[in-house]
Structure 1
Amino acid sequence: MDAEITVTELDLDLVPTVARLCAQALDLPEDAAEADAIVDVLWPRAAVDRPVIGLGAYRGDDLVGVLIGSVSPSEPGTGHVDLVAVLPGQRRRGVGRALLARAEQALAEHGVTEVLLAGNPPYYAWPGIDVRYTPAVCAALALGYQQDRTAWNMTADLSYDESPALRSTTAAEDRLAGQGITVRRAERADLPALTAFARSTFGGAWDGELAGSVGREGAGCHLAERAGKVLGFAAYGSSRPSWFGPMGTAPAAEGSGIGGVLLRRCLRDQRAAGLDRAEIGWVGPVPFYSGSAGARIERVFFLYRRTLPTS
């Protein structure tokens, strides 16, 4: 007979233990390989500006599953389940159900009335549940979560010199220079102007993602400016080392070619760091990334939500 499942809150000193379990429990190789970075961004880094909960499911003394959840910084009544990982041998034995039930209770104690199985930018590792994690999709539906959105990532191939993702930007940069536009790597001193531009032009949480990209090891950002005014940016490595984004161009500069230049400068950085592929996360303009970098849609995610019952 199985030992009873016990779910407890975990302290931050167990981050390495949680990362090791995730490396075993995440079935997709690209996720398992980045387990350390995923746990870091979802837990200690996210806890800087929002309530975060870390839960562990135990059978006896053995940790068999973990969950990380958080409260939306912009919508206090909304909570997110950011990660659920259960060891392969423990699946379909009530571990995920026990973790989600406790997470809903803990989030409700923070004033949450609706829970999303979806990323909570700027600290996220997936837009939602990758459709290839079929048991997680089945569990979400069984627990009363309703799918309300679909998202996708695209992949840029960095494995060979002639890849469209690595095309030279020299001629385009020369053309932009003739229009008074400078393209360069962003530095920490650029963050106030970059984040102000992102907030005023696009809203959302991109300013936080930029703060996680500029000046961080394994991450970076390039910008375009004219007369000291930011016209666009592209960043990578904020949420995960192999991920590209966010990027944005001022509406007045759309069609200038700035976006393609910034994108490929970042992808060359990622290739120089040893990556043979880059994931473009939570993609909007599919045709742009396809044309500028030969990127393809390769990951699809279902996003779910559930309104918590009132007592």
Structure 2
Amino acid sequence: MRTIQPLRKEDAPALLSLWNSVAEYDRLTLPLLNEKIWGDVDFDAQLSLAMFEGEQLAGFATAVCRQTPQQTTGIIKLLAVDADFQRDGVASELCQALEERCQAQGAIEMRVGESAPNYLTPGVDTRYKAAAELFHARQYVVKGQACNMQVDLAEWSHRNLPSQVQVNNTDSITYARATPADEPAIRDFLEQHWPSWWGEVSVALSNTPSTLHLAMDGDRVIGFAAHNANNRGTGWFGPMGTCPQYRGRGIGAKLLAICLDDMYQAGYPTATIPWVGPVEFYRQQCGAVVSREFVRFSKTLV
């Protein structure tokens, strides 16, 4: 007999074992699993479900509801089914339960993976063919693509130093590692340009030492770059942004170099640049290469 139950923290080792047995390209550690599930600011026990066949764990799935002024969106963060129960309806039943529960909380749309600021992947890896088939069968539609890029930090460090990055017309601009005293200025800056990024930026600011680097014009923040703000301990870069009126002067390139050097000095062999927009910028500035490609799925709830 199959039953659906809320995930329990004491089941984390079993969940991790199941996940790592089927998620070939997204292996987790116990701390990362906890970060993705119980560490999410929007964690809801009603949206984190395990399916059992008798007493055997057949699969599990987690979702969150993210709210913006425009709408509430349900996002499936993790979904895994034991190999012995695949293509037996387990994944679809878990999706159905999450969709219904998200809709009951006001969600009008479902997404997969892209649960920033706390997310594992920005969609479904194109190599997970069965997952794509599942979401197509459940009337999800493709909303776009995304990619991650990767930088070999040892190779990058041999030919790049932050001090060598040229910055134009920026005599008044300084660069520094952020401290808690900078929080009001950082919040003001993000509120003007990227209010949804505070979640990740706040994590970087809270790290010891801070993994958030700032570009300042006087006492004004005009750019930033962060790392270790999501998927902590894995070499995750970002987010990064420069005030629009200061773009084109090399400030972003300087912040990128400072941040990558910080990661290299911390011992990371590679940097993952996730959910990349300006692919050519990263390719040119640090030799980043596309390492993963994703499909972004969406479903309207009616």
Distance 1:233 1:97, change over 3 A: same
Letter in 1 for 2:185: A
Letter in 1 for 2:173: I
Distance 1:151 1:302 in 2: 6
Q: Which residue of 1 aligns with 2:118?
A: 123
TM-score normalised by L of structure 2: 0.89
Q: Which residue of 1 aligns with 2:185?
A: 193
Q: Contact (CA 8 Å) 1:183, 1:222: kept in 2 or not?
A: yes
Q: Contact (CA 8 Å) 2:161, 2:261: kept in 1 or not?
A: no
Q: Which residue of 2 aligns with 1:284?
A: 277
Q: Which residue of 2 aligns with 1:23?
A: 20
In the alignment, structure 2 segments of 5+ residues that lack a partner are: none
Distance 1:224 1:236 in 2: 15
Q: Which residue of 2 aligns with 1:230?
A: 221
Letter in 2 for 1:126: T
Number of equivalent positions = 298
Q: For residues 144-166 of structure 1, give each alpha carbon's deviation from its aligned partner in whole angstroms, at most 9, with x where no partner exists.
A: 111111111111112436555xx
1:58 lines up with 2:52 in the alignment: yes
Distance 1:24 1:275, change over 3 A: farther
Q: Contact (CA 8 Å) 2:61, 2:77: kept in 1 or not?
A: yes
Q: Contact (CA 8 Å) 1:191, 1:210: kept in 2 or not?
A: no
Distance 1:272 1:20, change over 3 A: farther
Letter in 2 for 1:107: C
1:60-79 equivalent positions in 2, closer than 5 A: 60-74=54-68, 75-79=70-74
Q: 1:172 aligns with which of 120, 143, 165?
A: 165
TM-score normalised by L of structure 1: 0.87
**What percentage of aligned pairs have identical amino acids?**
31
Alpha-carbon shift at residue 51 of structure 1 (Å): 4.4
Q: Which residue of 2 aligns with 1:153?
A: 148
Distance 2:209 2:50 in 1: 29
Q: Which residue of 2 aligns with 1:107?
A: 102
Q: For residues 33-82 of structure 1, give each alpha carbon's deviation from its aligned partner in whole angstroms, at most 9, with x where no partner exists.
A: x3435433332222x34646211111221223111101112155321111
Alpha-carbon shift at residue 308 of structure 1 (Å): 2.6
Q: For residues 276-309 of structure 1, give each alpha carbon's deviation from its aligned partner in whole angstroms, at most 9, with x where no partner exists.
A: 2211111111111111111112211111111234
Alpha-carbon shift at residue 275 of structure 1 (Å): 2.2
Distance 2:156 2:144 in 1: 36
Distance 2:120 2:190 in 1: 21
Q: Contact (CA 8 Å) 1:248, 1:259: kept in 2 or not?
A: yes
Letter in 1 for 2:53: R
Aligned-residue CA RMSD (Å): 2.4
Q: For residues 100-142 of structure 1, give each alpha carbon's deviation from its aligned partner in whole angstroms, at most 9, with x where no partner exists.
A: 1111122122122321124122111111111111111111111
Distance 1:37 1:25, change over 3 A: farther
Q: Contact (CA 8 Å) 2:71, 2:108: kept in 1 or not?
A: no
Q: Which residue of 2 aligns with 1:91?
A: 86
Q: Contact (CA 8 Å) 1:5, 1:95: kept in 2 or not?
A: no
In the alignment, structure 1 segments of 5+ residues that lack a partner are: none
- For the residue of structure 1 that corresponds to 2:181, the secondary structure is helix
Q: Which residue of 2 aligns with 1:181?
A: 173
Q: Contact (CA 8 Å) 1:115, 1:305: kept in 2 or not?
A: yes
Distance 1:8 1:76, change over 3 A: farther
Q: Which residue of 1 aligns with 2:206?
A: 215
